[in-house]
Amino acid sequence: MEDLLPELCDQFPDLVRVVEPMFANFGGRENFGGEIVTIKAFEDNSLVREQVAQPGAGKVLVVDGGASMRRAMLGDMLAEKAASNGWEGIIIYGCIRDVNAIGETDIGVQALGTIPLKTEKKGVGELNIPVTFGGVTFTPGEYVYADNNGVLVSAQKLELA
């Protein structure tokens, strides 16, 4: 199952919405997928910290960080917390840090890039609202899949035959 997304696109062409190419794969899992949980927050990862502390089995955290290249919305400690709570993956429309440690963590992580600066913690952001980037809307309760080929969204759970 190395190239999951091409297979899903071939098998379910009418059910997938493909995100414009922009993400790099940083996590210990190269392909991952699950039910979407969203956060919209700009340069404040307080809600990310709260969510990764929750049980996440079968879920992917999709963080709309406003494409900020100035602050990291995820670091090694939060990635490890997410992995220990069973999250399948995290997609950050923004930056991460601690890339070497995240690459050793058993979780999928995709982001636009890396920067060593952490965010401020002001408790600002919105949880579980539809967020749109890369030409696709990520709606809580729908499904997202990611691998080295990109990211796609589907209204229903997809299983390869």
Which positions make up the binding site for Mg(2+)?
A: 98
Q: How far apart are CA 40 and CA 159, in angstroms?
A: 28
Which positions make up the binding site for substrate?
A: 75-78, 97
Q: How far apart are CA 108 and CA 68, in angstroms?
A: 20
Per-residue tokens: 82:
């997410």
Sequence-distant (6+) residues with CB within 8 A of 14 are: none
Which positions make up the binding site?
A: 75-78, 97-98
For residue 152, what are the β-bridge partners?
Answer: 18, 145
Q: How far apart are CA 82 and CA 70, in angstroms?
A: 23
Q: How far apart are CA 50 and CA 53, in angstroms?
A: 5
**Residue for token digits 């499904």?**
143
Pairing of strands 89-96, 108-114: parallel
